[in-house]
Amino acid sequence: MSSVDVELVKCACPDCVCVVSVAKAVSKDGKAFCCDECAEGHKDHAGCHHAGCECHG
């Protein structure tokens, strides 16, 4: 039996495919994001730096 207490959530950015642990997520407006870029809504059109993720606002 393994106890997994790391809860995973998908980034709240609609285009982002990343999944982050709640503990490491960037929370903003009650939503969990994988990174600052996503949390800021990609206002600078900077992409999420994760492999395979194409979100950039």
Task: Tell me which amino acid residue 26 is.
Answer: V
25 is a contact residue toward Zn ion (CB under 5 A): no
> Does residue 35 contact residue 26 with C-beta atoms inside 8 Å?
yes
Does residue 53 touch Zn ion according to CB under 5 A? yes
Q: Are 8 and 21 in contact (CB under 8 A)?
A: yes
d(CA 8, CA 11): 9
Q: Using CB under 5 A, pick the residue from 25, 32, 39, 55 that binds Zn ion.
A: 55
- Residue of the chain from 5, 36, 50, 54 that contacts Zn ion (CB under 5 A): 50
Question: What residues line the site for Zn ion (CB under 5 A)?
Answer: 11, 13, 16, 18, 34, 38, 48, 50, 53, 55
